[in-house]
Amino acid sequence: MTPPPSSSSTSADAAVTGTPEPVDAPAGTTAPDDSTLPKKWSRIMIPFVRPSIEGGIWPIKRSVDESVDVRAGVVVDSHEAIEVELVVTDPEGETTIHRMTPEENDEYSGRFEVTELGRYAYTVRAWLNRFATWQDQFRRRVAGGEPHEELESELQAGVDLVRAAMENADGTDAKKLKADLEAFEAGDEEAAMGEGIAARVRRNAPHDMMVESQTYEVIVDPKIARSGAWYEFFPRSTRDDGKHGTLDDAAERLEGIRDMGFDVVYLPPIHPIGVQHRKGKDNAPTAEPGDPGSPWAIGGLLEDGTKGGHKSVHPDLGGMEAFDRFVEKAEDVGLKVAIDIAFQTSPDHPYVEDHPEWFHHRPDGSIRYAENPPKKYQDVYPINFENEDWPALWTELQDVFQFWIDRGVTIFRVDNPHTKPFAFWEWCLAELRKDTPELIVLSEAFTKPKTMYGLAKLGFNNSYTYFTWRNTKDELTGYAKELFHTDVAEYFRPNFWPNTPDILHDFLVHGGRAAHQLRFVLAATLSSAYGVYGPPYEHVFNHQHPDREEYAKNEKYEIRTWNWDDPMSLQDFMGRVNAIRKDNPALQQMRSIRFHETKNPNLIAYSKKSGDNLIVVVVNLDPHNPQEGQLDLDNGALGLPHDDAFIANDLLNDTRYTWRGQHHYVRLSPDRPAHIFRLEQEGQEHEVFERPVHD
Amino acid sequence: MTPPPSSSSTSADAAVTGTPEPVDAPAGTTAPDDSTLPKKWSRIMIPFVRPSIEGGIWPIKRSVDESVDVRAGVVVDSHEAIEVELVVTDPEGETTIHRMTPEENDEYSGRFEVTELGRYAYTVRAWLNRFATWQDQFRRRVAGGEPHEELESELQAGVDLVRAAMENADGTDAKKLKADLEAFEAGDEEAAMGEGIAARVRRNAPHDMMVESQTYEVIVDPKIARSGAWYEFFPRSTRDDGKHGTLDDAAERLEGIRDMGFDVVYLPPIHPIGVQHRKGKDNAPTAEPGDPGSPWAIGGLLEDGTKGGHKSVHPDLGGMEAFDRFVEKAEDVGLKVAIDIAFQTSPDHPYVEDHPEWFHHRPDGSIRYAENPPKKYQDVYPINFENEDWPALWTELQDVFQFWIDRGVTIFRVDNPHTKPFAFWEWCLAELRKDTPELIVLSEAFTKPKTMYGLAKLGFNNSYTYFTWRNTKDELTGYAKELFHTDVAEYFRPNFWPNTPDILHDFLVHGGRAAHQLRFVLAATLSSAYGVYGPPYEHVFNHQHPDREEYAKNEKYEIRTWNWDDPMSLQDFMGRVNAIRKDNPALQQMRSIRFHETKNPNLIAYSKKSGDNLIVVVVNLDPHNPQEGQLDLDNGALGLPHDDAFIANDLLNDTRYTWRGQHHYVRLSPDRPAHIFRLEQEGQEHEVFERPVHD
């Protein structure tokens, strides 16, 4: 579990002035014990530090090689000079100190790079730089023409400050400060005013009246948490002959998926499937003989007659050995494997027999199946996380993750986390990360925004979103701004999916191929993490269930065959988009996104920028008609020339345009639903963009 | 001093899920001591509570009879019903519990009134209402037509919940719950579904899985802290004959000031004035014989030959007895007295002799006068708050306040608080408020915004502002929005001054009488707390010092005479404005302010609303020319009829207009620079507005 990181002390003897802990007591007398006077106090306030989530209760998130830009407001009474420093502790406990830069309005800025997985901590501290104050006043005395004898006396006032620094110093600084001191004592005004001595004293001065902000944390995830492209498929639907595919059959698909440019293959649950109350095709209440059942009805018979649950592999998928081979093959071709964690059971799960107390019970003692009255789901038993034996249950469920981590899986998609206690996830994920900081956990919570954001705060580092239902320009723009331009961006990593086995939106049903293409471009470029439920998407299979916004002939309940070599598929298109993502750091991060006017509500346009890499995406949201408009760019903000020409290189359609100024005609049609422009200036076209990305 | 109010616990055995303290351990087994499992946990998260300043480090402010509208986001996993409650503790330690109302997007709202001076605390807590969850499901089962025998079994599941509530209940609830239980056991479905039983169970149910937010605080000040009208004058400048006035002379002015409608008379420092290095007229470096000196050069000879400082009254003002008579007279006429606290001394102050260690010293051992090199202020010694004997110093300075509190003064204007340690104020003001919760302390810090706001956070409950320099419509609108529409409004109470003895803005110099009138209306109606340095203002004396933006013949350095009976003075005008303020609760609060379009940059218009009391102020910002425009009102938002006529009653100019619709022609000229309309609907004109104000 994660107690709030070093939250404010309530020690009754510190006058806090906005910061929990003045570090030093003031010089001289200590306040008597029986007085109300503060034992420690400072003249400095640090009113707020950003980024921080709810005052630092929750850590922010970054991925490896990103930076954290810290801002703090710091004030001191009177006109004293202060030093403001950013103290950063890396996951190994190594501490570095960065001097912060004064900005407007008493704000200070500092930056650190996060290069290791795990938890970093950052604190802002500030102390009085008495020598700088003295030096400023002394310079003004000299400029104001004070008489020599007065200056000499003031010079002596600096001696103590230099001596104090000298006593702390060693090496070159100590030697030079000794010389400084001698110059001072000899009345050398010039020496006293220099920048060199200021730096030497600053480096070694006692940190007078220092205060520290509370400590904030950042969890650093693998880069793929930020920029992963996910591909979901059912491993049993990978044969041509309609038979149940194994993980070895599925492994045959890995090179194709890699060639499409994906990073992660995500498999629905791979465990044995319950037989009791098994659902039939299209979620029919009763299965016909031969129906394979839903993989989310977890737990059933193994080949050896025993029961298997969350730590076993369906015999028809080839068992654990086939899984190990699948993971190995994936690694060989350069893909990560993600599996599904759904904490619920079929009536055939071994937990039911071994731990009946882990479930809900009806008054007659029978185990409660899942219900949303009057609907009943007899094939699924929810787990009772509050049962009297909860410590054993929680420990076992955490061990489910650990079991698969030990088999090489570090990416998980968690089914319905919002129906399990928040406290469970907070504890479980924090514990797992202690040994597995590379853990990626995708929250499948299509629920209330505060719950979705809450799960992200307490440990999920990828999250499904409402993107699937956001189709108009206003909807997309508003949602993107909420996700990428508010504090949400500090802890919630949206993973955009245009479809899932549970969701086939009307837009895809009615918009056909063009809709599939344009929604794919949006998913892959609005967020930097995205995924697609691949087979029906790439084959533009969009038959909807008559009653529900989901696929007909749903693979959740039956085995399908797909023509992987169909020349009409979107595989090449998807591959092209992913290649562009890989080549352009601007598309591997989220927060720089900026929306641009197009003068047409059907044309959405946005840019992303990372270093010199500047991408502008224009998408026609109308899958039925051509649309034209005028793209307005803010050349100043984007770093584009105001008068000179620049190149708009459409990486998707291999076309180069020469643009000038801020207004550009754009036209897109259903057979070409998007531009992904790289804007290039003279001589920049052939650069390779491999600089680190600052999100 | 004020440690952060009950800030987050770091106890390592609580899984916090967004709240510091799950209150109950879950039922059943406790996690073993050697496990990482949380000892206490909940299924509920309380992500954030507002109002709160920087996560609750600082209290918010209210005044007596205002309300606090609390909002909290609360989420629970799954679809459990929750109860969300606002727990309020008043200054006497009495606790009340208010049920919070669900709003959109998992927000809950609650309100409490603050009726006593001092510190209130508020906490949001939430717990599982298992009976409501059960009842919701049961109703759906009945509606879904479940067979009777299944319903009967489900009914039994409710029995335990009712019994648990019954065991907690007493009185009528206990009796009724017993009957409920019997009906349940008899299988009475109707009884189980009622609202009555729901309320009885809710009132008495165990608070399952309860979590509490951290505790936030609100400091409740006297109403006058919010809506005081201050009048500053120099008591020595109250005679007709040019001689040094006494506090008895000054007391003669009190009835006139009361008649002008002011609430507070504020006196510059009343202490003996130093003789050494005394400044002459208009801040001349050397005083001529007879020059009275600046009251801010505190400390000098008393009549008995001893020295007097911050706890004494200038002999020429009549000494302490005259002060006591002044305070008594003020009380009699209905005015509060505010005095000036300036923690600095003249070289003649008794502290200099008695506690030389309380000052800064030069290397030669002499006491440092105030300097801002190359400028020198030999007449003033700043106090060294960091000296080795600081506990004695701080205690003495706190006792200065206590001395005057003991003489009946509870309102102080503090000179330059930003040049003293923040920690001193935090400690000093919190300590004083323990016995004197009615304390009002006006911060005279014209400095960096973060410092001004910081001083307000740590205890100042009135603050000077930049209003004095905000003259254009954009400047005034932008500044008002920062002060009244952001979090700043929760802790910073702006006191608007159009002038002070230190500041005579060019706008008043060049704009003459009209400028004085319009700036007075702005000060008195934009903020609800305001003040004026009266004598030169009411006499439109606006001669500026040749080098500085301050008054010529400055009363800080010389005695002036004023014709208190001048018929050309603004006394009647000021009295009229103050009377309108007193009659209209809308003008006694700040946060409801709303700006309205006028289609003329010289006409500013804004409304304030409290209950049915709706005021619209229109001010011509051009003191030289008439200006006309179109006032656009948002009738829906203001509660005005869309079609029917209503009355715009100009309370300032005694004119009534019949208005209809949203657009209204307005014209103002230098001889009539402002309207203060009360918008009245049919039959409302003669209402007396005495309902409580919710700021």
Per annotation, catalytic residue among B83, B415, B490, B622: B415
Cβ density class A178-205: b for 16+ within 10 Å, e for less:
eebbebbeeeebebbeeeebbebbeebb
Cross-chain residue pair A18–B454, CB shorter than 8 Å: yes
Measured CA to CA, the distance from residue A552 to residue A535 in angstroms comes to: 14
Contact B335, B263 (CB under 8 A): yes
Per annotation, catalytic residue among B85, B232, B444, B622: B444
Contact B302, B348 (CB under 8 A): no
Instruction: Find, among A671, A651, A655, A621, the residue nearest to A518 by Cα.
Output: A621
Cα-flanking dihedrals φ and ψ of residue B112, to 5°? -140, 150
Residue B647, sorted as left (phi over 0), alpha (psi -120 to 50) or beta, turns out to be beta
pLDDT in tens, A484-538: 999 999 999 999 999 999 999 999 999 999 999 999 999 999 999 999 999 999 9
Measured CA to CA, the distance from residue A418 to residue B45 in angstroms comes to: 12
CA B50, B54, B56, B58 dihedral sign is negative
Measured CA to CA, the distance from residue B631 to residue B603 in angstroms comes to: 9
Cross-chain residue pair B457–A47, CB shorter than 8 Å: yes
Residue A107: active-site member: no
Taking the CB of residue B333, how many other CB atoms lie within 10 A of it?
A: 14
Task: For residue A498, say if its preceding peptide bond is cis, omega within 30 degrees of 0.
Answer: no
The binding site of B for alpha-maltose 1-phosphate comprises 279, 344, 379, 416, 556-557
Per annotation, catalytic residue among A415, A426, A490, A622: A415
A481 assigned to a ligand binding site: no
> Tokens for A27?
């010089």
- Lowest-confidence segment of A31-40, A159-168, A394-403, B556-565 by average pLDDT: A31-40
For residue A29, the model assigns a pLDDT of 62
Cross-chain residue pair B423–A362, CB shorter than 8 Å: no
CA A542, A543, A549, A554 dihedral sign is negative
Q: What angle do CA A367, B25, A384 make, to 5 degrees?
A: 15
Measured CA to CA, the distance from residue A585 to residue A595 in angstroms comes to: 18
For residue B10, the model assigns a pLDDT of 29
Partners of B209 on chain A (C-beta within 8 Å) are 386
In chain B the first and final C-alpha atoms are separated, in Å, by: 28
CA B601, B602, B604, B605 dihedral sign is negative
Place of tokens 């006497």: B92
Partners of A396 on chain B (C-beta within 8 Å) are none
A416 assigned to a ligand binding site: yes
- Lowest-confidence segment of A75-79, A120-124, A526-530 by average pLDDT: A75-79
In chain A the first and final C-alpha atoms are separated, in Å, by: 28
Partners of B105 on chain A (C-beta within 8 Å) are 448-450
pLDDT at A122 over 60: yes
DSSP string over B255-318: HHHHHTT-SEEEE---S-B--TT---GGG-SSPPTT----TTSB-EE-TTSSEE-TTS--GGGT
Percent helix, percent strand, percent coil in chain B, to nearest 5? 30, 25, 40
Cross-chain CB nearest to A29 (options B373, B389, B421):
B389
Contact B246, B461 (CB under 8 A): no
> Tokens for A151?
């200056």
Cross-chain residue pair B56–A56, CB shorter than 8 Å: no
CA distances from A582 to A86, A262, A484, B222 (A): 33, 10, 20, 63
DSSP structure class, residue B40: B
Place of tokens 């977890």: A298
Partners of B146 on chain A (C-beta within 8 Å) are 373-374
Residues 6+ apart with CB under 8 A from B527: B465, B467, B483, B494, B495, B496, B590
Q: Could you tell me whether strands A375-377 and A370-372 are parallel, antiparallel, or unpaired per DSSP bridges? A: antiparallel
Ordered mean pLDDT values, 10 residues apiece, chain B (695 residues):
29 40 58 86 91 91 96 94 98 97 97 98 96 94 90 88 95 95 87 92 94 95 98 97 97 98 98 96 94 96 91 97 98 98 97 97 91 89 95 97 98 98 96 98 96 97 98 98 96 98 97 98 98 98 94 96 96 98 97 96 98 97 98 95 94 94 96 97 54 36
Measured CA to CA, the distance from residue A680 to residue A691 in angstroms comes to: 16
Measured CA to CA, the distance from residue A622 to residue A673 in angstroms comes to: 8
The binding site of B comprises 279, 344, 379, 416, 556-557
CA distances from B181 to A362, B160, B188 (A): 19, 9, 10
> Tokens for A580?
């562009």
Domains of chain A: 16-218 (2.60.40.10), 221-272+317-343+395-584 (3.20.20.80), 273-309+344-382 (no CATH), 594-681 (2.60.40.1180)
Q: What angle do CA B145, B146, B149 make, to 5 degrees?
A: 135
Partners of B374 on chain A (C-beta within 8 Å) are 140-141, 143-146
Q: Write out A38-53 in H/E/C secondary structure.
A: CCECCCEEEEEEECCE
For residue B16, the model assigns a pLDDT of 40
> Tokens for A419?
């129906």
> Tokens for A463?
């999250």
Q: What is the mean pLDDT of residues A335-355?
A: 97
Residues β-bridged to residue B631? B664
Contact B460, B425 (CB under 8 A): yes
Contact A26, B40 (CB under 8 A): no
Q: Write out A560-578 in H/E/C secondary structure.
A: CCCCCCCCCCCHHHHHHHH
Partners of B77 on chain A (C-beta within 8 Å) are 418-422, 451
Per annotation, catalytic residue among A444, A490, A550, A622: A444
Residues β-bridged to residue B629? B666
Confidence class for position A663, pLDDT limits 50, 70, 90: very high
Q: What angle do CA A313, A318, A322 make, to 5 degrees?
A: 85
Residue type, B108: Y
Cα-flanking dihedrals φ and ψ of residue A280, to 5°? -90, -165
Which stretches of A64-104 are assigned E, i.e. beta strand? Answer: 66-76, 82-89, 95-99, 101-102
Cross-chain residue pair A26–B451, CB shorter than 8 Å: no
Number of A/B CB contacts below 8 angstroms equals 285
Cross-chain residue pair B146–A32, CB shorter than 8 Å: no
Cross-chain residue pair B146–A373, CB shorter than 8 Å: yes
Q: What is the mean pLDDT of residues A110-121?
A: 98
Taking the CB of residue B32, how many other CB atoms lie within 10 A of it?
A: 11
Q: Searching chain A, which residue's CA lies closest to the CA of residue B396?
A: A37
Q: Is A309 exposed, middle or buried (0-12, 13-18, 19+ CB in 10 A)?
A: buried
For residue B597, the model assigns a pLDDT of 97
Place of tokens 């340690």: B421
Partners of A78 on chain B (C-beta within 8 Å) are 418-419
pLDDT at A652 over 90: yes
pTM of the complete model: 0.91
Residue type, B186: A
Cross-chain CB nearest to B387 (options A28, A146, A371):
A28
Cross-chain residue pair B458–A20, CB shorter than 8 Å: no
Q: Which of A6, A8, A420 to mutate to test the interface with B (most CBs of B within 10 A)?
A: A8
Q: Searching chain A, which residue's CA lies closest to the CA of residue B447?
A: A78
Measured CA to CA, the distance from residue B69 to residue B86 in angstroms comes to: 10
Q: Is B521 exposed, middle or buried (0-12, 13-18, 19+ CB in 10 A)?
A: buried
Residues β-bridged to residue A617? A606, A676
Measured CA to CA, the distance from residue A270 to residue A315 in angstroms comes to: 9
Cross-chain residue pair A12–B3, CB shorter than 8 Å: yes
Measured CA to CA, the distance from residue A300 to residue A312 in angstroms comes to: 10
Residue B389: active-site member: no
Q: Is B456 exposed, middle or buried (0-12, 13-18, 19+ CB in 10 A)?
A: buried
Q: Which of A422, A447, A487 to mutate to test the interface with B (most CBs of B within 10 A)?
A: A422
Residues β-bridged to residue B45? B75
Cross-chain residue pair B154–A363, CB shorter than 8 Å: yes
A420 assigned to a ligand binding site: no
**For residue B98, how far is the Cα from the chain centroid?**
24
Q: Which of B75, B156, B419 to mutate to test the interface with A (most CBs of A within 10 A)?
A: B75
Cross-chain residue pair B373–A141, CB shorter than 8 Å: yes
Contact A63, A220 (CB under 8 A): yes
Q: What H or E segment, with its residue span, contains residue B86?
A: strand B82-89
Measured CA to CA, the distance from residue B549 to residue B373 in angstroms comes to: 21
Q: How many residues does chain A have?
A: 695
Partners of A42 on chain B (C-beta within 8 Å) are 421-423
Alpha-carbon torsion, ordered B301, B305, B306, B307, to 10 deg: 10
Confidence class for position A150, pLDDT limits 50, 70, 90: confident
